[in-house]
Structure 1
Amino acid sequence: MASAPLAAASEDVALSVRDLTVSLPAGMERVHAVESVSFDLKRSQILCIIGESGSGKSVTANAIMGLLPKSIRVSSGAICLEGMDLVGLSSDRLRDLRGRVVSMIFQDPLSALNPLMTVGAQIEEVMASHDVGTPHSRRSRAIDLLIEVGLPDPQLMYHQYPFRLSGGQRQRVMIAMALALEPAILIADEPTTALDVTTQAQILQLIRDIQRRKGMSVMFITHDFGVVAEIADSVVVMEKGRCVEQGSAEQVLKSPSHLYTRRLIAAVPRLTGKDRIALEAAATASVLKVECLVKTYRSGSALFGTQRIVPAVNGVSFDLTPGRTLGVVGESGSGKSSLGRLLIKLLESDSGSILFEGRDVAGLSEAEFRSLRPKIQMIFQDPFASLNPRSTVGHILTAGPVAHGMPYSEACERARELLSHVGLDSGAFDRYPHEFSGGQRQRIGIARALMFKPKLLIADEAVSALDVSIQAQILELLDRIQRETGVSMIFITHDLRVASQICDEIAVMHRGQIVERGPPSQIFLDPKSTYTRELVAAIPGEQPRSLPQHVANP
C-alpha cells in the first residue's frame, strides 16, 4: 500500500486512529468490518474517507462515536481524542463527549430525526442533555443555529416537524443539531448522497464555510470523488475494511497509486458532452405522447385560510419513440417523481392526456388500465422498500405474471433467465431480499420490471443511492437491456452526470414545468435556460471553466 506518512506532531492532530480492528459476528462474509486502519484527522482540516458500501467507512465513524451495534466490537487498536483513548470508555463518558467534543451528521436525516418532536425541540434537546443554558437561552440558541445553517423563516421552522421539511432542509437541521455545542470535530456520514445537485452544492458549501469559520476538524464520509474534489484537504481510501491509500486530496485525485482508487475515480459519471448513439428503431410512431399534463396538490382548509396549493406538474408535454430514453432532471420538488407516478397511474392527473401506443390512458379507471400495466413498468428508487422482505426473489418475480395469467412454470423459467441476464446466479431465486447488497437488490427490481416484456420502463432515481462503481454497472445493464429489447425509458434522476451517460434526450423540470429539452450536448454544453445553467454549475467535481463561459457564471 502506498500511503502518505501519518502526522507526527500530536498538537496538529485532532483525532488519531491507530490499527483499528472491528470484528464481525461468526458466519459473515469476512472476519473483520475494519482491519488495522490507521489515519490522522488534522486540526481545522477536512478529511474525506471514501469507498464502496461495505468498505468500513461508516463502521469506522460509529466506532469513533461509540455507536457500534452490540453484534460487532472493537477487537484491537486505539482511537485517540484529546489525549484519551475512546476504545473501552464507559457509556457515560462517551455520552459526555458526543455533541460537546465530537458530533455526527447522519446519512438519512428523516430516520435520524424524531418524527414526534419539532425541529426546535430536537436542537434544544442536545443542549439540555449536557445541561447547557436555560430554557430561554436554549430556544434563542436554536433559532440562531437555524439562521446559521440557512433555513428560511427560522421562527416558523422552529415549530415544524421533520416530515414537513424537504430533504435539504432536514439535512440542515441535522447540521444545526451537530453544531449546537460547537464541537471540535464533526463527522459527516454521506450527508449529501440522496440530495439533488444544487442542494448538495449548498450543503457542501455550508459545511466548508462553518468548518473554516469555527476552525473545526471534519471527517467527511462519501463514495463520490466529485464531492472529494470539492472539499477535501486529505483523503483515506478504504476497500473491504482496509485502508488501501491515503494522502492529500490533490495527490490521490491526480496520481492515485492503488488500482482500487483508480477504479473508483474511473467509475465516477462525468458530463461527456457527446450524444448517445441511438438505436435503429423499427417504428417511428410514439410509444408515449404526453400533452398538457397537470397535477396540483392541495392541503389544508380554504375555510380557515390554511389551504396550500402546489402545482406539482403544470402543463407538461413531450413524446417518446421506441428504443429511446428521455431523462427527466431537476431539483427535489420540481415534479419529476410526480410525473413518473402520473405516467404509471399511481396518481390521477387533473387534466391533460397520456397517449400510450395511441390510446389515452389518463382518464381510464383502474379496472380499464389493469390490462395495460404489464406494458408499463417501474423501477423504484429504494429497491429494499419496494421488495417484499417476507417473499423469496422467485416469488417476487413470478407473482405478477402469474396473476396476469402466465403459467407458473413459464414464469419461473423466465425469472431464472432474467436473474442470469441481470448478473445474478441461479441461487438468487430461492433467497430473500435482505441477503443481497443494494446493487444486487436493484438488479432484482430491474428483473421484476422486465418479467412482462414491457414497452415502457420508468426508472425513478434508480441509481441515486448506489456506489459509483455499482451505479456504473446498473447503467451499463440498463443500456444493454434497452439495446437488446428495444424498450423505451423515462429516466428520472437528480444527478445530471448520470443523465448524460444514458439519455438520448433530457427534459429539465422546474416548479412543475419543463423549462428546457434537448440532447445532452445542448443541455450540458450550451444550456439556454438560466435554471439549467445553475444545475450544471452545481455538479460536484466538474470543472465549470471547461464549459462555455455563460455556463460557469449563470
Structure 2
Amino acid sequence: MGSAPATITADVQATLSVRDLTVSLPAGMERAHAVERISFDLISGQILCIIGESGSGKSVTANAIMGLLPRAIRVAGGSIRLGDTDILTADREHLRGLRGRVVSMIFQDPLSALNPLMTVGAQITEAMMAHGVGTAESRRARAIELLTEVGLPDPALMFHQYPFRLSGGQRQRVMIAMALALEPSILIADEPTTALDVTTQAQILELIRDIQRRKGMSVMFITHDFGVVAEIADSVVVMEKGHIVEQGPASKVLRTPDHPYTKRLIAAVPHLTGQDRVPPTTNEVAPILTVENLVKTYRSGSKWLGNERVVPAVNDISFALQPGRTLGVVGESGSGKSSLGRLLVKLMDSDSGRILFEGADIAAMKEDQFRALRPKIQMIFQDPFASLNPRSTIGHILTVGPMAHGVPHDQARQDAVALLTHVGLDGGAYGRYPHEFSGGQRQRIGIARALMFKPKLLVADESVSALDVSIQAQILKLLDQVQRETGVAMVFITHDLRVASQICDEIAVMQKGKVVEIGPPSQIFLNPKSAYTRELVAAIPGEDPGA
C-alpha cells in the first residue's frame, strides 16, 4: 500500500511538502510504523482534508509537522519542508520561532488543550508575548479583536473568563483565536468539530473557511467525517494504517473513489434516510416508560447577593416509550439532552413530574427503594474510557454489578464471556484492561456491561459521537441487533441527526430544556414543524434533506 505523491504544476505553489515521511512506533505495538513513506503537498491558499479511521496516522502526521511528537515516537526517515526549512533537521529554537508565527494548530479537545488556571485573554496574549509581539495594551486589543473575529459574544467580558465557564463550541472558537493570533500562513486543525452539535459545527466550519479565504491561509484539516470533507475540502488525502491509499481533488475522491478503503469509508457515512424505521415485533403494547411533566432546574450563585443564575435544564417534558422501540433525543449542547438521560436513570433527582417505569413512579423513590429496579434501567455513557475503571480487568467490570445483585460468580463469568463475543470481541478480552482497547472496542465493552443485567430500558448518551464512521456503523448495527433480539427499549441521546435517522422510531427535538417537536424521522427531517428543527437539519454537513 504505497502512497502516490501529489504532483505540483508550475503555477501552483506548495507551502508545505511532506516526502517519504516514516514515523516509528515503540517495539511491541501492533505495527512497526505510525506512518510509512507518506508524501503529499499542502497548496498555498487551499484546504487539504486528511481523512481516515483512528490509528491511521492522521494526528501523528500533524504532530510531526508541528515538531510535537512524544519521545517514544521518532521520525525514521523522510522530510517535511516548510519553505526553505526542513522541520525534521531544524534546531529547537528555530522550530519554536515557526510555531504559532508560520504554522499553527487547533487541537482536538479544547478543554484539555486550554490551561484551566488562565483566563482566555491571558492564553491568547501569551502566544504574542512569547514571540515578542507588541505591548501589553496592543496585545490585549489584538486578543479582543480575535475574539470578535471568531464570533464570541461580548469579547471584552470573554477576555476575562476561564475555560470552564465556556461551552464546547465557545472553547473551540478560543482555540481558533489563539491559533490565529500571529496570523500564520498554515493552519492545522485536528478534528476541531468532532464532538460539536451540528449548528456549532456548521459555524466553526464556516468560520475556518471564511478566515482562510480572507487571509489566504493554507489549511490542513484532519477529520473522520466525510460530511465535513464535502463541505470545505479542496483536496483530500485518505490514510489507512499509516499509509496514504488515495489522494486528489475533493470532487474526484468523493464522487469516484478508486481505493476499496475509500469506498468503504464513504459507504459507512450515515445519511438522512427520511424513512421511518420498521420497529422490532413485540407482543407488549403498554409503554415501559412514561414521562409526565418532568422538570429539573440548575441554580448557581446567591439570591441574596443578586447573582443567582437559574437554568431550566429540563422544562415540563412528557413522552411515552414502548418496549422494543427507540426514542431519539436531539438538540444543541446545553439543550438538556444529557440532563434528561441522567434523570431517567436516577443519577440525579428531578424537581417535579413523574417517571413511570413499568407503572411505578421512580422519580418519587428513595435510592434504597430504587436499587432493586436499577438493573432493569442501564446507561451507555458518552466516554467509555472515563466510565471504565482503569485498574479493573474487563471481566471484573462486567461481573461486579451482577454479583452484587446475587448472581453466582461462575454464572456471571459465563454471561460476560458470551456477551463479549456477542458485541464482537473475543473471550480473551475478559482478562485485559481498558487501556488495551481502541475507542470503538471500549464502547462495545460499555454496551456489554449495560446488557449484563438484561435491562428493559437502555439510555445511550452520545454513545457513538466520537467514533469513526465505520466503527459508528458497526455500533449502530449492534444496538439494532440487540434490540431486535431482546426487545429492550432505548432512549438514544445524540447531536448527530444523521445517526438519529438511522436508529430511531421517534425523535424528540430539545431546545433550552423544552421539547419543541416530536415525531417520526420522516416528519423531523423532511417536513419539520418547528423553525428550530429546520435550522438543525439545514446545518448538517454534506446533506441535502430534500434530495
TM-superposed deviation, 1:543: 2.1
Over the aligned positions, Cα root-mean-square deviation in angstroms equals 1.0
Aligned to 2:107: 106
Question: Structure 2 CA distance, aligned partners of 1:109 and 1:481?
Answer: 35
Is the 8 Å Cα contact of residues 44 and 218 (structure 2) preserved in structure 1? yes
Question: Structure 2 CA distance, aligned partners of 1:249 and 1:314?
Answer: 44
Aligned to 1:26: 27
Q: Which amino acid aligns with 1:13?
A: A
TM-score (normalizing by structure 1): 0.98
Question: Structure 2 CA distance, aligned partners of 1:413 and 1:47?
Answer: 49
Aligned to 1:406: 407
1:249-295 CA-partner distances (Å, limit 9, x unpaired) = 00000000000000000000000111111111211111000000000
Question: Structure 1 CA distance, aligned partners of 2:182 and 2:273?
Answer: 44
Aligned to 2:419: 418
Please give the residue correspondences for 1:74-85 in structure 2 after superposition, counting only pairs within 5 Å.
74-85=75-86
Please give the residue correspondences for 1:4-403 in structure 2 after superposition, counting only pairs within 5 Å.
5-9=6-10, 12-403=13-404
Structure 1 residue ranges, 4+ long, deviating more than 3 angstroms after superposition: 1-5, 8-11
Q: Which amino acid aligns with 2:393?
A: T
Per mean C-alpha deviation after superposition, the further-off stretch among 122-131 and 9-18 is 9-18
TM-superposed deviation, 1:5: 3.9
TM-superposed deviation, 1:2: 8.4
1:389-411 CA-partner distances (Å, limit 9, x unpaired) = 00000000001011111111110
Q: Which amino acid aligns with 2:236?
A: V
Is the 8 Å Cα contact of residues 2 and 257 (structure 1) preserved in structure 2? no
Question: Structure 1 CA distance, aligned partners of 2:444 and 2:114?
Answer: 30
TM-superposed deviation, 1:88: 2.3
Per mean C-alpha deviation after superposition, the further-off stretch among 91-100 and 424-433 is 91-100
Is the 8 Å Cα contact of residues 4 and 39 (structure 2) preserved in structure 1? no
Is the 8 Å Cα contact of residues 5 and 40 (structure 2) preserved in structure 1? no
Question: Structure 2 CA distance, aligned partners of 1:321 and 1:4?
Answer: 55
Question: Structure 1 CA distance, aligned partners of 2:531 and 2:247?
Answer: 39
1:331-373 CA-partner distances (Å, limit 9, x unpaired) = 0000000000000011110000000000001011111111110
Is the 8 Å Cα contact of residues 3 and 247 (structure 1) preserved in structure 2? no
Q: Which amino acid aligns with 2:194?
A: T
TM-superposed deviation, 1:3: 4.9
SS in 2 for 1:414: helix
Aligned to 1:549: none
Aligned to 2:488: 487
SS in 1 for 2:363: coil
Is the 8 Å Cα contact of residues 6 and 40 (structure 2) preserved in structure 1? no
Identity among equivalent pairs (%): 76
Question: Alpha carbons of 1:74 and 1:541: their partners in 2 closer, same or farther (altered >3 Å)?
Answer: same
SS in 1 for 2:524: helix
Is the 8 Å Cα contact of residues 19 and 80 (structure 2) preserved in structure 1? yes
1:97-155 CA-partner distances (Å, limit 9, x unpaired) = 10000000000000000000000000010101111111111111100000000000111
Question: Structure 1 CA distance, aligned partners of 2:480 and 2:186?
Answer: 43
Is the 8 Å Cα contact of residues 4 and 247 (structure 1) preserved in structure 2? no
Is the 8 Å Cα contact of residues 116 and 161 (structure 1) preserved in structure 2? yes
TM-superposed deviation, 1:10: 8.5
Question: Structure 1 CA distance, aligned partners of 2:390 and 2:344?
Answer: 27
Q: Which amino acid aligns with 1:404?
A: H
Q: Which amino acid aligns with 1:94?
A: L
TM-superposed deviation, 1:530: 0.3
Aligned to 1:550: none
Is the 8 Å Cα contact of residues 419 and 447 (structure 1) preserved in structure 2? yes
Does 2:509 correspond to 1:508?
yes
TM-superposed deviation, 1:544: 4.9
1:517-553 CA-partner distances (Å, limit 9, x unpaired) = 111011001111000000000000102552xxxxxxx
Question: Structure 2 CA distance, aligned partners of 1:427 and 1:97?
Answer: 47
Question: Structure 1 CA distance, aligned partners of 2:392 and 2:6?
Answer: 50
Question: Structure 2 CA distance, aligned partners of 1:453 and 1:66?
Answer: 49
1:296-344 CA-partner distances (Å, limit 9, x unpaired) = 0000111111110000000000000000000000000000000000000
Question: Structure 1 CA distance, aligned partners of 2:41 and 2:3?
Answer: 16
Q: Which amino acid aligns with 1:448?
A: R
Q: How many equivalent pairs are there? A: 546
Is the 8 Å Cα contact of residues 49 and 237 (structure 1) preserved in structure 2? yes
Does 2:471 correspond to 1:446?
no
Question: Structure 1 CA distance, aligned partners of 2:280 and 2:422?
Answer: 20
1:26-82 CA-partner distances (Å, limit 9, x unpaired) = 111000000000000000000000000000000000000000000001110000002
Q: Which amino acid aligns with 2:445?
A: I
Question: Structure 1 CA distance, aligned partners of 2:103 and 2:364?
Answer: 56
Q: Which amino acid aligns with 2:330?
A: V
Q: Which amino acid aligns with 2:207?
A: L
Q: Which amino acid aligns with 2:381?
A: F
Question: Structure 2 CA distance, aligned partners of 1:189 and 1:10?
Answer: 29
Question: Structure 1 CA distance, aligned partners of 2:246 and 2:107?
Answer: 25
Is the 8 Å Cα contact of residues 2 and 258 (structure 1) preserved in structure 2? no
Is the 8 Å Cα contact of residues 197 and 495 (structure 1) preserved in structure 2? yes
Question: Structure 2 CA distance, aligned partners of 1:230 and 1:262?
Answer: 18
Question: Structure 2 CA distance, aligned partners of 1:22 and 1:515?
Answer: 50
TM-superposed deviation, 1:473: 0.2
Question: Alpha carbons of 1:282 and 1:412: their partners in 2 closer, same or farther (altered >3 Å)?
Answer: same
Question: Structure 2 CA distance, aligned partners of 1:406 and 1:232?
Answer: 54
TM-superposed deviation, 1:9: 3.7
Question: Structure 1 CA distance, aligned partners of 2:12 and 2:442?
Answer: 46
Question: Structure 2 CA distance, aligned partners of 1:327 and 1:47?
Answer: 34
Question: Alpha carbons of 1:215 and 1:545: their partners in 2 closer, same or farther (altered >3 Å)?
Answer: farther
Does 2:431 correspond to 1:430?
yes
